[in-house]
Amino acid sequence: MALRTEELMLNMGPQHPSTHGVLRMVVTLDGENVVDVQPDIGYLHSSVEKMMENRTYLQNIALVDRGMDYLSAMANEEVWVLACERLGKIEVPERARYIRTIMLELQRISSHLIWLGTFGIDLGAFTAFLWAMRERERIMDLFESATGGRLHHVYFRIGGVFEDLPEGWTDRCEEFCDYFLDRLPEYDELLTGNPIFLARTQGVGVLPLDTAIAMGASGPVARASGLAYDVRKAHPYEVYERVEFDIPVRSEGDCYARYLVRLEEMRQSVRIIRQCLERLPAGEIRSKVAVTLRLPKGEVYARTESPRGDLGIYLVSDGADRPYRVKIRAPAFSNLYALTEMMRGWKVADVIAILGSIDIVLSDVDR
């Protein structure tokens, strides 16, 4: 007699430690095999786009810090001020552009470190979390001394940055770069060659390249699937066209490839920071921009490479002192959509590994 089997619906979240925030997943299981996954989002929706319509261009800098991806506030500020500067044709002094690039890359390292730590926890490697937090703390200190804020900086301004770097900051930043490059091989020892880590990640959750593009995946997720695309190279902003760096691309498309891509990106970020520190020019840090800025009527799409991928803002201005409509193109939103494709056919234990590998931040997904 054949064994009678039934599919099982398993609800994960929204309160679940391994979902990295308030994500609910409805997993359909056949025994231990995942048949289907339906992510349910919106638990952290704060309608940032609507709130932005009611605030001036300057006030919105503080809003994008909090309302969008809270682990990479600098990247959010960057895309917002970039959109405003492009539409208003506002010049940014050289020094400010270098400072911004340094901050963005520090933010990328800090965001990737959080990801590395939580990904380690997902797979049972707690040490990685403690080590990643230790390194991240140094970046937080650098941010705090320059901007006054650790997570939400409100540091970028339309036309520059808020304040110049404090005395000795560049030396401390240089010190951090040396320190961090020393620490990176430790992660290799801890995770890259770890047989358990390899067994949990290699070949797991493969996302083919054409599916990745069709689903709108971007950032490290798409680059791990073989898409050699990075906004910093394709459409350089700030001073990215003047510094040398490589875009790590892997073709495997599995969790391990996504891990390797992010690890290498941190190395490249240090490279960028060092070149910027070397060439950091003296001079003005902010051009004169009215507090009640009125942007001319028009529309612009600005895109940047946030730690999570292709982060864009479509800004519609009707000539008033606040935006008419802002559309935030959040990278984690599209990356999360590709989740179903990645998980189908894997075991229930892999669900956690695959979800961890795409690095979502729910405030970025839900906005």
Partner 1 sequence: MSWALAEKLKAAFPDVELFPRAGTEPAGTRDQGPGTGSGEQVTAAPESTPAAPRRPAHEVPPQYLTPGVYVPREKLLPVCTTLAGDPEFGLTYLSFVSAVDWPDRNELEVLYHLYSHQTRQELALKVRIPRDDAHIPSVSGVWDGANWHEREAYDLLGITFDGHPNLRRIMMTDDWVGHPLRKDYVYQDPPWLVEVAKERQKDAEGLGLGERV
The site for partner 1 (CB under 8 A) is made up of 41-42, 45, 47, 49-50, 86-90, 211, 213-217, 227, 229, 234-235, 289-290, 292-301, 303, 310, 312, 314, 316, 318-320, 324-325, 327, 329, 333-334, 337, 366
Question: In the block, which residue shows the tokens 């864009």?
Answer: 312
Residue number, 139 or 313, with CB nearest to partner 1 = 313
Distance CA 129, CA 223 (A): 24
Residue number, 198 or 228, with CB nearest to partner 1 = 228
First to last CA, the chain: 53
Bond prior to 14 in cis (omega within 30° of 0): yes
Residue number, 264 or 310, with CB nearest to partner 1 = 310
Closest distance to partner 1 from the beta carbon of 321 (Å): 8
Residue number, 75 or 139, with CB nearest to partner 1 = 75
Closest distance to partner 1 from the beta carbon of 106 (Å): 26
| b/e sequence 307-322, b meaning 16+ C-beta within 10 Å | bbbbbbbebebeeeeb
Tell me the residue type at 104.
Answer: L
Q: What is the DSSP string of 165-197?
A: PPTTHHHHHHHHHHHHHHHHHHHIIIIIT-HHH
Closest distance to partner 1 from the beta carbon of 237 (Å): 13
Closest distance to partner 1 from the beta carbon of 250 (Å): 16
Residue number, 200 or 232, with CB nearest to partner 1 = 232
Closest distance to partner 1 from the beta carbon of 216 (Å): 3
Coil, helix or strand at residue 25? strand
